[in-house]
């Protein structure tokens, strides 16, 4: 502990990492927050409205991100990753690589001329392939830091120097295509891993036809469509036709609670599916038939059962059963059969759009961090807690704590509570009170 001030490294700048960093700072710690992507925010930044109150995700997230970057106790290392770590006594020596952004934040005024001039278009990761971005791009409108970035992987300058259009177009001289990554070394007393989740790869469940039929999408893609700032400006669109759907099915537990895929529950899919059904019905009313295919609905959080009832009142059709194989129809739509256990009837649904509420796995970045810091994993692959009843924020590795969806699938309320507990435990550990 240098100068009596505890120092904490937080890995992951999603909602859990943000809240862990703010919590540790409020307790007097110096915090280094490392985020791999070019902006803070994590998955919550991709969401439209948040259950159960249906508040705007960016309205919830933006003040928290701003608080992080204006906090003098927090050094946000955005677009950076931990390369290696070693331990001497009670201190972790951690090497962090800051990736080259190629855009000087102090000069860029966000005019966008670089992106206009850029000839390269690739699928946008933020919009999950529903829109294109340039090789130089703003991660999203509410990004923090709000700044452009050049993606080396899609820019030809980094292969053969054949393009410099953005540098030539930038009126501020803010682009440096020859910028190099830099390394920072930090010494910290404790580490909090908050590196989040990825979606289960639904291509492995071939019967759903994900990635085969463009009109089979994930719930996260629907979130991007429903977002007023998203690729379709808040409208739900059938990707193959660019039209609004007249019939849509939302399939819960896609890849979850399934011995051939993920045996565990994704814990957010039921509520996300209900939210999606509710939002689509609210937007388009009787113009669209919405079917919700479920095993059983798990709505156990505070205010969740009430939201479930409200969503049901909005005219969606609940079907208790998992669909069979998705097939194309001669008319250009999709069809699937579902045996409805509630009515004992075999239904054949003809659909314009199918939304899969996908299972959740620990992010690849989370697994990397676990390896670097020697954190055990549970049988389900997520990072293991010290005690599932009394201490879900500590690991069995002294000085390494966990928060958010890297520990198990969870919603924001749970992720934030665990982050605050992890911050408290990490600072206490640093002060020798463990
Ligand atoms: C379709 C869908 C809808 C949802 N809707 C809601 C809702 O309405 N309400 C609700 O409460 N919850 C909802 N959720 C759940 C919500 O997304 C999670 O609770 C939340 O994102 C968990 O936050 P997190 O910070 O733990 O993880 P993430 O949001 O995954 O953030 C992790 C961060 O860590 C970064 N990272 C990863 N690896 C590294 C590394 N090695 N180094 C540095 N950084 C790294 C990532 O880039 C990311 O920024 C929904 C989930 C889905 C799938
Ligand atoms: S052209 Fe230059 S100043 Fe304008 S957004 Fe791009 S980098 Fe920033
Ligand atoms: S140098 Fe790369 S980022 Fe810049 S305009 Fe050309 S392709 Fe786009």
pLDDT recorded at residue 315 = 87
Encode pLDDT of 176-193 as tens digits: 999 999 999 999 999 999
| Nearest CA residue ID for atom 4, ligand 2 | 111
* Cα–Cα distance for residue pair 231/220, rounded to 1 Å: 13
Could you say which ligand is closest to the alpha carbon of residue 120?
3
CB 48 within 8 A of CB 231: no
Q: Which atom of ligand 2 is nearest to the CA of 166?
A: 1
Collapsing DSSP to helix, strand or coil, 343 comes out as coil
Could you say which ligand is closest to the alpha carbon of residue 155?
3
pLDDT recorded at residue 302 = 86
Nearest to 409 by CA among 256, 251, 191: 256
pLDDT recorded at residue 3 = 56
Could you say which ligand is closest to the alpha carbon of residue 122?
3
Ligand 3 center–CA 129 separation, angstroms: 20
Confidence class of residue 230 from pLDDT cuts 50, 70 and 90?
A: very high
Asked if residue 52 has its Cβ within 6 Å of ligand 1, the reply is no
Ligand 3 center–CA 422 separation, angstroms: 42
pTM surpassing 0.85? yes
Could you say which ligand is closest to the alpha carbon of residue 104?
2
* Cα–Cα distance for residue pair 9/29, rounded to 1 Å: 10
| Nearest CA residue ID for atom 37, ligand 1 | 195
Q: Say if residue 53's pLDDT is above 70.
A: yes
Q: Which domains does the chain have, with CATH numbers?
A: 2-98+181-196+363-430 (3.50.50.60), 113-169 (no CATH), 201-359 (3.50.50.60)
Asked if residue 416 has its Cβ within 6 Å of ligand 3, the reply is no
pLDDT recorded at residue 303 = 86
CA dihedral 153, 158, 164, 167 (to 10 degrees): 70
| Nearest CA residue ID for atom 6, ligand 3 | 163
| 291-295 average pLDDT score | 93
| Nearest CA residue ID for atom 48, ligand 1 | 42
Confidence class of residue 346 from pLDDT cuts 50, 70 and 90?
A: very high
Ligand 2 center–CA 44 separation, angstroms: 27
| Nearest CA residue ID for atom 3, ligand 2 | 108
pLDDT recorded at residue 296 = 85
| Nearest CA residue ID for atom 30, ligand 1 | 196
Q: In residues, how long is the chain?
A: 434
Of the residues 100, 101, 103, 120, which should be mutated to test ligand 3's pocket, given the most ligand atoms within 8 Å of the CB?
A: 120
Q: Which atom of ligand 1 is nearest to the CA of 37?
A: 47
Nearest to 319 by CA among 351, 282, 285: 351
Ligand 1 center–CA 406 separation, angstroms: 9
| 118-140 average pLDDT score | 98
* Cα–Cα distance for residue pair 354/221, rounded to 1 Å: 11
pLDDT recorded at residue 139 = 97
| 296-302 average pLDDT score | 85
pLDDT recorded at residue 1 = 58
| Nearest CA residue ID for atom 2, ligand 3 | 155
Confidence class of residue 308 from pLDDT cuts 50, 70 and 90?
A: confident
Between 32-46, 271-285, 296-310, 414-428, the lowest mean confidence (pLDDT) is in 296-310
Asked if residue 161 has its Cβ within 6 Å of ligand 3, the reply is no
Residue 260 phi, psi (nearest 5): -90, -5
Asked if residue 268 has its Cβ within 6 Å of ligand 1, the reply is yes
Q: Say if residue 433's pLDDT is above 70.
A: no
Confidence class of residue 297 from pLDDT cuts 50, 70 and 90?
A: confident
Encode pLDDT of 396-429 as tens digits: 999 999 999 999 999 999 999 999 999 999 999 9
Pair type for strands 190-193 and 400-402: parallel
Instruction: Name the DSSP class of 271.
Output: H
* Cα–Cα distance for residue pair 429/229, rounded to 1 Å: 42
Q: Say if residue 300's pLDDT is above 60.
A: yes
- Mean per-residue pLDDT of the chain: 95
Instruction: Name the DSSP class of 434.
Output: -
| Nearest CA residue ID for atom 5, ligand 3 | 118
């Amino acid at each position: 502990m240098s100068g009596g001030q505890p120092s904490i490294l937080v890995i992951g700048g999603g909602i859990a990492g943000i809240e862990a960093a703010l919590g540790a700072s409020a307790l007097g710690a110096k915090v280094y927050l490392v985020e791999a992507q070019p902006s803070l925010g994590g998955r919550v930044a991709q969401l439209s409205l948040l259950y159960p109150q249906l508040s705007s995700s960016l309205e919830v997230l933006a003040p928290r991100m701003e608080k992080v970057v204006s906090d003098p106790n927090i050094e946000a290392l955005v677009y950076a990753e931990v390369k290696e770590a070693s331990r001497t006594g009670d201190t972790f020596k951690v090497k962090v690589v800051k990736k080259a952004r190629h855009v000087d934040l102090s000069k860029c005024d966000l005019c966008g001329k670089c992106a206009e001039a850029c000839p390269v278009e690739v699928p946008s990761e933020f919009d999950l392939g529903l829109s294109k971005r340039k090789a130089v791009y703003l991660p999203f409108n509410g990004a923090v830091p709000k700044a452009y970035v050049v993606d080396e992987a899609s820019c030809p300058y980094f292969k053969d120097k054949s393009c410099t259009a953005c540098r030539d177009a930038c009126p501020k001289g803010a682009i440096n295509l020859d910028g190099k990554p830099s390394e920072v070394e930090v010494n910290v007393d404790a580490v909090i891993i908050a590196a989040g989740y990825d979606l289960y790869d639904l291509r492995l469940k071939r019967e759903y036809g994900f990635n085969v039929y463009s009109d089979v999408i994930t719930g996260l893609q629907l979130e991007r469509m429903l977002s007023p700032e998203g690729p379709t400006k808040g409208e739900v669109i059938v990707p193959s036709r660019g039209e609004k759907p007249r019939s849509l099915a939302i399939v819960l537990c896609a890849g979850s609670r399934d011995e051939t895929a993920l045996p565990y529950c994704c814990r957010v899919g039921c509520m996300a599916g209900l939210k999606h059904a509710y939002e689509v019905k609210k937007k388009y009313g009787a113009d669209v038939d919405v079917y919700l295919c479920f095993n059983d609905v798990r709505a156990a959080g505070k205010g969740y059962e009430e939201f479930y009832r409200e969503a049901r009142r909005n005219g969606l059709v609940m079907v208790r059963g998992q669909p069979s194989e998705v097939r194309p129809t001669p008319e250009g739509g999709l069809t699937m059969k579902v045996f409805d256990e509630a009515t004992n009837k075999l239904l054949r649904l003809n659909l314009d759009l199918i939304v899969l509420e996908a299972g959740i796995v620990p992010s690849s970045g989370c697994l990397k961090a676990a390896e670097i810091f020697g954190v055990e994993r549970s049988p389900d692959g997520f990072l293991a807690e010290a005690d599932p009843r009394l201490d879900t924020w500590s690991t069995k590795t002294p000085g390494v704590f966990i928060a958010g969806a890297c520990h198990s699938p969870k919603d924001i309320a749970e992720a934030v509570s665990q982050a605050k507990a992890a911050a408290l435990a990490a600072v206490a550990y640093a002060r020798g009170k463990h």
